[in-house]
Amino acid sequence: MKTRIILAVIAIACLAGAYTWLGAQSRPAAVPIGATDIGGVVTSSKGPEAGVWVIAETTGLPTKFAKVVVTDDRGRYVIPELPKASYSVWVRGYGLVDSPKVTSTPGSQLNLTATLAPTAAAAAEYYPGMYWYSMLQIPDKSQFPGTGPSGNGIMPVMKTQAYWIDTVKNSCQSCHALGSKGIRTVPKEFAGKGSSADAWALRVQAGQAKNNMAISLARFGPKKALDLFADWTDRIAKGELPSAKPERPQGLERNAVYSMWEWSTPKAYLHDAISTDKRNPRVNANGLIYGSPEESTDMVPVLNPVTNEAWQIKHPFRDPKTPSNSELPRGRSAYWGDEPIWDGHTSIHNPLMDEQGRAWFTARIRPINANPDFCKSGSDHPSAKLVPLEQSVRQLSVYDPKTEKWSLINTCFSTQHLYFAKDANNTLWTSAGNPDSGVVGWLNTKMYFQTGDEAKSQGWTPIIVDTNGNGKRDEWVEANQPLDPNKDKRIMAAFYGVQPSTVDDSIWGQAMDVGFSRMDQPGYIIRLVPGSNPPQTTLAEVYVPPDIGFGSRGIDVDTNGVVWTTLSSGHMASFDRRKCKGPFNGPQAATGKHCPEGWALYQMPGPQMKGVTDPGSANHAYYLWVDRYNTLGLGANIPIAQANGSESLLALVNGKFVDLHIPYPMGLFTKNVDGRIDNPNTGWKGRGLWTTHGTRTVFHNEGGTQNKPRAFHIQMRPDPLAH
């Protein structure tokens, strides 16, 4: 009897232990976290949710702050290094709709329940924009070249289908996130006023950028383009969904940590941001971040990421007659009515930082037509003797945070992007953007700071190719003239991107491509060799990508001297001059087709555009940057495209893309990045990339008219749970 009782007790104990074990298995195990972390497990009715984003956001700091991470293969997550505050936390992911927001604080375990999307349409609302704008019908190859308004409605300047695609991306998508909710949906302000094409005609006349949009429409053929855009939004309104679906983050993509701070105002937009000297990522460690608000305002946003504070400083201009963008012609906005929300005079386009932490800008400091006399015909300035310049769109400025003083530098040449060479004069090379100028300009900053003489400190040169093959600069024929065996040849192009070489004294530039350029040049990569006495000795080499690639935009050079760019055909591309087999000069050099073996193309992820059968992708990148010094953690010399189509940074690692998609706020649109090392001794925590929103219409994105631009910090952990 006693034996039976003992066995029964043992059986009950074992059964109780089994129930305890089963209960523990049904509850997610705790995820190790620190005092400044929030961590847990994300599950849905299907079980653990891998590769989804967990977002924590707070308004409890001086400026709104959020941090985003990705779950691992078991649905676990850790949001690390959160400032002390109360956070709203929720789950977002492909195949889901946003989960209810819950409140938490750092140091907490927080298991979250993901919400499955009830329909395919609900799931598609979270797709990156390119999945939606890939539905835009592109005219068939057979319709090119266009036959004009009395023919097929496509303008004759559209010589091939590539011209049309390039214009959609490099002219339209480069300013607006085309596939975002605010663009794929026609606002009520315009809908119902005639046909859908009429509604689109009103849309493109709205706001203060109507002239730019009119120029793009004129290139397409206005009626044809408006009909196709109307067809696109009509099909979406009727319920048509993208034919392709994005994949959830995989592998290294799950190690990313995205931090973001609001800065600037809802009525402004940002073009770019700068955190450090791109030649030395340890400059300005833990320091202030500066933004460039381009046409929208003269107020430069500033972020202190240590104290989570954001403020603005006013960019001055020399001439009180400098016009304000509030005076631009405009149509009624569906978001702002008749209010001219842009009031900038200074057109602050691109920022850069020097070795002393001073912030440089390409900016307008006076009216466009007010070039000094030393720029013009009759001047004895060495550059003006070669190519006199009557006007420039932007000039240069520099802000010294130590003294809080601005220096405004009057340049004869227009400026758009800028970069320092590693030379004794700390030469600042610039791009003009607009090919009509046909010159490349520079500033000897050492001379400028020593003398204050802006005239003697600057120079510019036309782009001359050694087509007679004698190895030196000679008298040249103009771009519209035939080759002369005794002369060189001028190329009527201008740098859009600019980048000094890392291996010699040459300067690399990238010129805008077919659909964007009024000069109809084929989008060169240009190598400029200043020689011993620029501008008199400067020679150039030009290169174009293989036929399947077109529409270059942005440029950088890795430490091996390999040049990188992105193409509107949907590729990232590299050019290695060391692989060229033929001569670099001679008659063939003017074509840019004399070194196809130097190119390598990498197709970006994403669907192709509707009606396009050539290799490529609907994806598009505004610019490209090479992480020479492993500031992100994916390795040295990693090219990273600012892919506003996939709303991500695309890093090419060992020939494969790592897609660093930032899911919140939807509509991410970056135009450039830089990488900074704040503390080399703290691993991933002490380094990362900095970027900002770059779309001109932040209010088209998630958050609407209350949405502000954000500064983003991107870091890569060794694994998804590192803290």
pLDDT in tens, 229-244: 999 999 999 999 999 9
**What is the distance between the alpha carbons of residues 269 and 302, in angstroms, rounded to a whole number?**
13
Evaluated on CA atoms 545, 549, 555, 561, the torsion sign reads negative
pLDDT for the residue 521: 58
**Helix and strand element counts for the chain (H, E):** 10, 42
**Which is more confidently placed, 171 or 117?**
117
Specify whether the CB–CB gap between 639 and 649 falls below 8 A: no
Contact 589, 466 (CB under 8 A): yes
Least confident of 189-193, 232-236, 246-250: 189-193
Scored b (16 or more CB within 10 A) or e, 526-559 reads: bbbbbeeebbeebbbbbbbbeeebbbbbbbbbbe
- Give pLDDT, residue 21: 38
Residue 10 predicted with pLDDT over 80: no
- The DSSP result for 263-285, as a single string, is -S-TT----EEE-SBTTBTTTTT
Give the ranges where 671-712 is alpha helix by DSSP (H).
none
Residue 28's pLDDT is 63
- Comparing 348 with 20, the larger pLDDT belongs to 348
150 vs 25 pLDDT, higher one: 150
- Cβ atoms of 270 and 348 closer than 8 Å: no
* Sheet with 476-477: strands ordered across: 476-477, 488-490, 464-465, 539-543, 525-529, 507-510, 497-500
Tens of pLDDT, residues 455-513: 999 999 999 999 999 999 999 999 889 999 999 999 988 999 999 999 999 999 999 86
Model pLDDT, residue 523:
84
Each domain of the chain, given as residue ranges in start order, spans 1-30
Per-residue pLDDT averaged across 260-276, rounded? Answer: 97
Average pLDDT (597-614) is 98
* Cα–Cα distance measured from residue 374 to residue 717, given in angstroms and rounded to the nearest whole number: 54
Q: Are 460 and 441 in contact (CB under 8 A)?
A: yes
Compute the chain's Rg from CA coordinates: 27
Alpha carbons 185 and 70: distance in angstroms, whole number: 29
Q: What is the mean pLDDT of residues 624-638?
A: 98
Find the largest Cα–Cα distance for the chain.
122
Percent of the chain with pLDDT over 90: 90
Which residue, chain included where needed, has tokens 């240069």? 396
> Collapsing DSSP states into helix, strand and coil, what is residue 602?
strand
Q: What per-residue confidence (pLDDT) applies to 42?
A: 98
Instruction: Give mean pLDDT, residues 59-67.
Output: 98
Residue in 419, 443, 561 with CA at minimum distance from that of residue 497: 419
C-alpha–C-alpha distance, residues 437 and 88, integer Å = 51
For the record, the structure tokens of 572 come out as: 């990232």
Question: What's the DSSP call for residue 609?
Answer: P
Cα(11)–Cα(2) distance, integer angstroms: 14
Per-residue DSSP letter, 189: T
| Tens of pLDDT, residues 212-226 | 899 889 999 999 999
The burial of 596, by beta-carbon neighbours within 10 Å (0-12 exposed, 13-18 middle, 19 or more buried), is given as middle
- Give pLDDT tens digits for 405-442: 999 999 999 999 999 999 999 999 999 987 778 899 99
pLDDT of 558-591, one tens digit each? 999 999 999 999 999 999 999 999 899 999 999 9
| Contacts by residues 83-86 (CB-CB < 8 Å, ≥ 24 positions apart) | 83/36, 83/58, 83/308, 84/36, 85/58, 85/60, 85/61, 86/58, 86/60
Which residue from 354, 187, 256, 255 is spatially nearest to 697, judged by alpha carbons?
187
* Cβ pair 497, 483 in contact under 8 A: no
Q: Which helix (H) or strand (E) holds 361?
A: strand 359-363
Statement: residue 90 has pLDDT above 70: yes
C-beta of residue 510 within 8 angstroms of C-beta of residue 530? no
b/e burial code for range 478-508 (CB count within 10 A of at least 16 → b): ebeeeeeeeebbbbbbbbbbbbbbbeeebbb
For the four alpha carbons of 515, 519, 520 and 521, in that order, the dihedral sign comes to: negative
Peptide bond preceding 535 in cis form (omega within 30 of 0): yes
The Cα-based distances of 186 to 52, 420, 459 in angstroms read 30, 44, 48
Quote the tokens at residue 550.
């077109």
Give pLDDT, residue 20.
38
Q: How does residue 192 score in pLDDT terms, banded at 50, 70 and 90? A: confident
Query: Which DSSP state fits 621?
Result: E
Query: What is the per-residue pLDDT for 19?
Result: 37
The reported pLDDT for the residue numbered 14 is 42
**pLDDT value at residue 520:** 61
Tokens for 255, please give them: 């190690």
What pLDDT does residue 434 have? 77
**pLDDT tens per residue, range 140-179:** 999 999 999 999 999 999 999 999 999 999 999 988 889 9
Q: State yes or no: pLDDT of 18 exceeds 90.
A: no
Cα–Cα distances in angstroms (integers) from residue 202 to residues 214, 453, 566, in the given order: 11, 49, 32
In this prediction the pTM is 0.94
Q: How far separated are the first and last CA of the chain, in Å rounded?
A: 58
- 35 φ/ψ angles, rounded to the nearest 5 degrees: -70, -20
pLDDT at 519 over 90: no
Mean pLDDT of 698-704: 93
Burial (CB < 10 A; 0-12, 13-18, 19+), residue 332, is middle
Buried b (16+ CB within 10 A) or exposed e, 200-215: bbbbbbbbbbbebbee
Determine what percent of the chain is predicted with pLDDT higher than 70.
95
Other beta carbons less than 10 A from residue 7's beta carbon: 10
Q: Is 251 helix (H, G, I), strand (E, B) or coil?
A: helix
- What pLDDT does 433 receive? 83
